[in-house]
Amino acid sequence: MQIPPQGLGREDVFRSLEDFAGSDYDWRSGKCYAYTFDAGERAERVAKDAFMAFMYKNALDPTFFPSVLELENRVVAMAAAHLGGDAQTAGTFTSGGTESIMLAVKTARDYFRHRRPDIERPEMILPVTAHAAFHKAAHYLDVKVVPARVNPETFRVDPETVRGLISPSTILLVGSASCYAYGTVDPIPELGQVALDHGLLLHVDACIGGFLLPFFKELGVDVPDFDLSVDGVTSISMDLHKYAYAPKGASVVLYRNAELRRHQIFACAAWTGYTIVNTSVQSTKGAGPMAGAWAVMSFIGRDGYREIARALLDATRRLKQGIAEIPQLRLLGDSEMPLIAFTSDEVNVFHVIDAMSSRGWHIQPQLRLDDYRECIHLSVNPSNTEHTEAMLRDLREVCAKVKAPRGSKLASAVSATFGRLDPDRLNDAIFNKMIGMAGMKGVGVPEKMADINDIMNVLPPRLSERLLIEFVNRLFVQPGGDDALDPPRRRIRLPQGPPAHVGDLGSGSGPGPGPGPGRSSSTDAVLARLPGLAGAALDAARRIRDRLVDLGLPIPR
């Protein structure tokens, strides 16, 4: 696919864009309980107009667009006042919660590099409910994750559990306000005391709850303290494109003072181009989301946000009560946010999700982790509030009709066949088999997800992660290309790196590298046949498994 030789007309361009969006969920329908945050048409129009007015302005150089610097300082000041900050609070506008969290982790790492250069591999202690963005930050920044279990009834971390995991290499503690999965707030004051006792930094992930929780507190809800007013909290993140209803992506990360934020900033003078100094991960940073965030917050105002919070609180309470009254379902935890998690001991929640999808509702699956159960997740929005009773009615009917039990024979078979394999040693042929068994045929998003989620639910997390990577790597393809699940017709041999010893370097002539050290060409030929042999063995194993399933016999483990 190439750029058109002749430019398309405006009408043709927007007709194509409408066609592309034809299969998207209608997020304005009020039936979507994930991913989108909608405060209504008037707020959306203000956000769009502000975004468009600043969409070509760049935060890369604050001396070129002083208006963008002014906007960022004002948005950060609003956030600081909202989250218990003071005149010393310093912060940065970012593209979203993941960037805010990555910057907080980067700041902690570099702060302790300066003060404790003896720490070779820094560690951060995370509740298992902490957002996946912390794992992403750890992966990018080479920080070790030390997971802390949470109470299986309250889904809050125990500060003494965290204290017991501290080592000489610990640099950062993390708490959530709230966690995404269950909407619960960790005991931040107690975690702050642990941080103070051990000379550690404490980051509060308030990306989803930080904006809304203060308004719930104003409405009389018993919201735990969680912000910069708490002793021991050294940084906090808050998304503005969630319950502040700014356009995506809009988030802030705040620090106790500018001395700490200094470790977030990157500068480079070791090249021949213009001076580079970045407060965030991005260099070029469009000002549209920043302008949209300032405009929406200014337009809605505190009184407007309080009334939105009141409607959300009422809808959340009605949903929780209605779900608790459905015999097949039970709530998980007691959330402080309009985030609701519930599961079932009788029916397969993934089939419930598919059945609700067929009725036009979009609700979200959450997979099992150790003994924390698979469940259904709802993020409640203003657009959902008028549909609360209709949603509960359909959910009640679906739960009465769904007969699928927890788990499935297919999931058990996949787990038995592949569950003990090392994800790092699997090849394309094996992954193609797994993807095919999961019902993912060709390129695109499957309409029914229950079987796929059942399989992901029983696989070890590392194997699930690798399977997701392989599938998504096949999902983003050039339009009109070959089926991405088929093996490529031409293998491209990627570089293997230079020899371990300079003396191993050859003359550089010839078609390519020879056999590996200590191996003959015949050995390499045998190794090259292993993927095909593995595929044949998998075919045989699948036929045996299918026959056992047909006969109703147990699958060997």
Per-residue pLDDT tens for 186-239?
Answer: 999 999 999 999 999 999 999 999 999 999 999 999 999 999 999 999 999 999
Q: What is the DSSP letter of 259?
A: H
Average pLDDT over residues 86-101: 97
Q: What 3-state DSSP class applies to 340?
A: strand
Give phi and psi for 37, each to the nearest 5: -135, 115
User: Do residues 377 and 46 make contact, with C-beta atoms less than 8 angstroms apart?
Assistant: no
Task: Give 116-156 as a 3 state SS string.
Answer: CCCCCCCEEEEECCCCHHHHHHHHHHCCEEEEECECCCCCC
Q: How confident is the model at residue 509 (pLDDT cuts 50, 70, 90)?
A: very low
- Measured in residues, the chain has a length of 557
Higher local confidence (pLDDT), 53 or 459: 53
Q: What is the pLDDT of residue 533?
A: 57
Q: How far apart are CA 437 and CA 198, in angstroms?
A: 50
Backbone angles phi, psi at 202, to 5 degrees: -130, 120
| pLDDT digit string, tens, across residues 405-460 | 666 667 777 777 777 778 887 777 777 777 676 666 655 566 788 888 888 888 88
The answer to whether the beta carbons of residues 201 and 195 sit under 8 Å apart is yes
pTM of the model: 0.86
Q: In Å, how far from its chain's centre is CA 97? A: 9
Quote the tokens at residue 3: 């750029």
In angstroms, the CA 214 to CA 226 distance is: 10
Instruction: Give the per-residue pLDDT at 239.
Output: 98
Residue 528 has pLDDT above 70, yes or no: no
Q: List the one residue out of 297, 188, 176 whose CA is nearest residue 237.
A: 176
CB 75 within 8 A of CB 93: yes
The confidence score (pLDDT) of residue 512 equals 44
Q: 409 or 31: whose pLDDT is higher?
A: 31
Q: Nearest 5 degrees, angle CA 284-CA 289-CA 233? A: 90
Q: Domains of the chain (ranges plus CATH)?
A: 48-296 (3.40.640.10), 302-401 (3.90.1150.10), 407-486+524-557 (no CATH)
What are 148-183's pLDDT values in tens digits? 999 999 999 999 999 999 999 999 999 999 999 999
For residue 553, CA distances in Å to 224, 434, 547 come to 53, 22, 9
User: How many other CB atoms are there within 10 angstroms of residue 245's CB atom?
Assistant: 28
Question: What residue spans of 409-503 are helical by DSSP H?
Answer: 409-418, 428-437, 450-458, 461-475
User: What pLDDT shows up at residue 483?
Assistant: 53
In contact, 249 and 16? CB cutoff 8 Å: no
pLDDT digits (tens, 9 = 90+) for 330-372: 999 999 999 999 999 999 999 999 999 999 999 999 999 999 9
Please choose, from the candidates 136, 20, 130, 141, the residue with its C-alpha nearest in 3D space to the C-alpha of residue 469: 136
Q: Please report which confidence band the pLDDT of residue 551 belongs to, taking 50, 70 and 90 as the band edges.
A: low
Helix axis angle for 450-458 and 461-475, nearest 10°, is 140
Confidence of residue 515 (pLDDT cuts 50, 70, 90): very low
pLDDT band at 543; cut points 50, 70, 90: low
Q: What is the pLDDT, as a whole number, of residue 190?
A: 98
* Paired tokens of 539: 């075919």
